[in-house]
Structure formats: C-alpha cells, structure tokens
Structure 1
Amino acid sequence: DARNGVVEQTRRHAAIAALLRVPHVVLAVNKMDLVAYEEQVFDRIVQDFAAYAEELGLPGFTPIPVSALVGDNVVEPSAHMDWYAGPALLEFLENVPVGAESADAPARFPVQYVIRHDEVRYYAGQLVSGSLRVGDRVTVQPSGEASEITGIDVLGTDVETAYAPQSITVRLADQRDVSRGDMLTAGTDAPTLTQDVRAAACHLAERPLRVGDRVLVRHTTRTMKAIVKDLGGATELSANDLGRITLRTAEPLALDDYADVRRTGSFILVDPADGSTLTAGMADLS
C-alpha cells in the first residue's frame, strides 16, 4: 500500500520468500492513485524494502508501481506514471523464467511404490532432482546398499535417461530390500544421514509448537516420529511465527540442505493425533 509503505506483513512475506529461496520477487506498490502517482513516494518505499531485502539475503526484486483499482501497470503500462519505464505486472509474471531443479543437481529418487511382477521388483516414484541413466550405480538411503540401474520406464516406455521432475519406474540389478520412503541416490554427492535435524521453520497451526512436543516428520515419501528438542531459544512458536528448530528423529533422514535441493531439503511436521499440518521446515545443514 503506497500510503503505508513497508509494513509488518510486507516484512513477513519477504522473510518467507527468503527462507524459501524464491528466485524472483515482485514488490508491487499498490494504490499509487491515492498518493497522486508520485514517483518520490514509490522511490522511498523501494529504498526501504531494498535495505530489508539486503538484510534477508534476497537475491533481488523487481519493484512495480500499480493501482489495482484503475488497472495502472497491471496489464498495460500506465499513462499516469510516465516516469516508470519497467514492465507491467502481468508482463513480468508472463516472462519471468521458472523451471524445475537442474538436471545437474544431485540425483534424488524417493521411492513411492514397490511393484512386484514376475518375480521382478520395480520402484516407482518421482525423480525430484537431477537425472538417472541406465547403468548408473545407485545407493539406497538410508541403508547404504548399492546396486545398478538396469531399466527406466517413463509412461510405459523404456528410456535410457530420466530427468527431474519426471515420474518413473526403475529396475535394479539386485533384489535389494527397498521400501516406500527409501531414496535412491547416484554419484558422490550423497545426502546427509542424520537424526538431528536443524532447520528454518514457519509455524502454520493455531496450536503453538513447543519444546518437547512429539510430532511426525513427513519428508518426501517417508514419515517418522520425532521430538522437538529446541526452538532457537524460544519456548514456543505461534501461528505464522518464523524461527529455528532442532528435531530428534526416530530414524535417520536422508537430508540435503534446502539451498541445494529443495525437495529433499524440506519437510513438514504433522500432529500425530489428527494428521493436521503444524510446521514447514527448510533444512539448514551448514
């Protein structure tokens, strides 16, 4: 809101964008019509937000002055703000580059289903990061068992290579003990196996999260019990609070740093009593 500038809600949304490593952020300064479309008002808000974005480590942002009421700079450039030479909001959203995890990222394949047919096991799921090829040596996480990919199926067709985020079925050379929740990884860049999980967190539930709470962790296709050991010095997190969290899980989790692989670096905490979502976490293994 151009009348109020950078308010608490603006800061909270920016902080969440920084936690999630959102690569493209828009600062849409609305209600410019109520401040007579003054460039100085817009510039002051942009400067204030830029200082906060630098504190958060946001990689950058695109400021756009708009008036949603009359449509200025929403779809078409505004005749009231000839001092602004950037894109309209819709133009920016239609052209901003978006994409899945890079194929050069570490290969991560959480197993969702194990299919048994004619005494052969097939492992189905979504390749959430990187790529897998027939002949690749893979490791089963968390057991550490090794095998080799002998076949990859995509939509009923055998392929030599699969890329994230394709849903695939994989065959291995050995009849390994692989279950739902296990993860196949390839290459030397392995995830971290740990029962002590440190993460940035955003609490979503009305019920506060407290030190000592027993929760369920849902990470990719795996669900396990955990206990909240620390909240960054706080005693609890209330709804919409951002904070730090340390968990002790019942079994090792194959985690990546969220900054490196989002899908295997993120998780949610679930209330074991009713299955409701409590908290979103982004692993920080540094």
Structure 2
Amino acid sequence: MHRAYGGVVPELASRDHIRRALPLLQQILEQAAITPAAIDAIAFTQGPGLAGALLVGASIANGLGLAWDKPVIGIHHLEGHLLSPLLANDPPSFPFVALLVSGGHTQLMRVTDIGDYEMLGETLDDAAGEAFDKTAKLLGLDYPGGPAVSQLATTGTPGAVVLPRPMLHSKDLDFSFSGLKTAVLTQVKQYGQPLDEQAKANLARGFVDAAVDVLTAKSVQALKQTGLSRLVVAGGVGANQQLRAALKVAAQKYAFDVHYPDPELCTDNGAMIALAGALRLQRWPAQANKHYAFTVRPRWDLAAI
C-alpha cells in the first residue's frame, strides 16, 4: 500500500489499521483457541509513533477492555523491542546493553531490569533504518528498502566504494546517518544516470559496510564503557545479515555475548507488546486499570517511563 509513495503515509496507515485490526484479532483468538475469558489484561502501544495509528490501537484496546471488563495497560513501543529477545529460546539475563536500531530509532541503552533503562547514546538525525530506506530510494529500489539494500550489497565488490563512517571516532555513543545518506547521493550523481546493476551493488555494499562499522564499533564501545558483557540487538535493522555477521566477529574478538529476537520479532509486532504488558503486570499490577480514558504519546522518552 505504501510502496507507491516510497514511505509510510500516516493517514493511509491509520485507516488501514481500522479496517484490519478487529478481523485480525478475531482470527488470532480462533487460531489460539481461546476466548476473552482467558485474557488477564490488554496491552497496547501508547507511543512513540504516528498519532493516528496509535489512536486506532488505543481506542480498540480500551473499547475491548470496557466490553470484556479487562484492565488495560499502555506500553512504550521501544520497550517492546528492547524486551523482545526474552521471547527467544536463549533469552539474555539482566543487565545488558541494548542496541535499538530501526526505521525510526537508533539508540544504545543500558538495561538493568524491566523498567530500568539508561540512555547511553542516540542518533542526532536520521535513524539507521531511515538511512537504509533513503539509500534504497536513491538506488531505485522499492520501499521498504532496508532488506533490498542489504541483499543487493551481497553482490557488491568490497572496497569499490568507500563511504564515510559518521561519528565513528566521536568518543561518545551518539550516531549520525544523514551524512552517510548524502554521501550516497553524491556518488549517484558522480556515476550519472542510469546506474548499471554493478554500480548499484557497489554503492549498496559501501553504504552497508559503513553503517555496520559504526553500529558495531559503538556497541563495543558501550559494552566497554558500562563494563557489561551482554549485548541485545532489537528493531527491524537487527535482522540485517551484515550487522549480525559483524557483531559475531566482534563478540568473538572482545568476548561478549550477543542476543537477538527471532527474525519475525525484529519488526513491529504484537507479541513484544504483549510480553512487555505481561511483565509490567507482574511487577506493577496497578499500572493496568479499568478507567478506559486514554491518551497517546507520539513522542515519549524511554528512559523516563
């Protein structure tokens, strides 16, 4: 639906959520062979994100809570990503460093326990996933572009295109990816149009190598700075094959463990929000309520929850 526009159109997204949410919920209940009576509480994404889409989820969650007489709990989108590796067969134990890397966020967090998060560094401009999508557009690839760029990079020649590694030596844990995207644009203009397939592949390889180098180096730096030996990678870019390969090499070199959610749990999903809701319900039952008056939080600092 969004491919024709090269990115998410908020109005289309929220209207589509309205159309799909209740039929999907009914299908899931039938597949799981459970009734509302078996549900303890309803968790929903309260933020951050697109206000229209958040309002759809919040209103449905609270409407169902009222209809089924169930408590409702609002969850931070990024907390869902951050805790999603706990659903894996080999879940990490606390504390750990988390690299949250997606289309909207690139952050390093110290995670001491559920609800105890410290921001170590974040992107000052474009998120890594956003830079992947914009690079895909420059190379004429369809949206969503991240997986397409990664796949194309596998056929590129290593070192044929060397792009800058923004803030690699900044001595802090912040990121910046807008300059890397601009460097791709400059290379595209130098090549001229139309780009042949090998030129596209070499540009993709240069971009992916640069982004992965920065993400890996900053993750290692965060582990050294905190003295921790566990890294959790979550968010859509966490499924990137080149990033996983680079972190595997770094983990062997610097003797740390790295954990990922299963690939289907890397992108936005309801399971991670349900998990975060269940964990919060166990720790802080009072956070779930039957007030059914709701707000959404398009901007919401994870460290402040």
Q: TM-score under structure 1 normalisation? A: 0.27
Q: Highest Rg: 1 or 2?
A: 1
Q: TM-score under structure 2 normalisation? A: 0.26
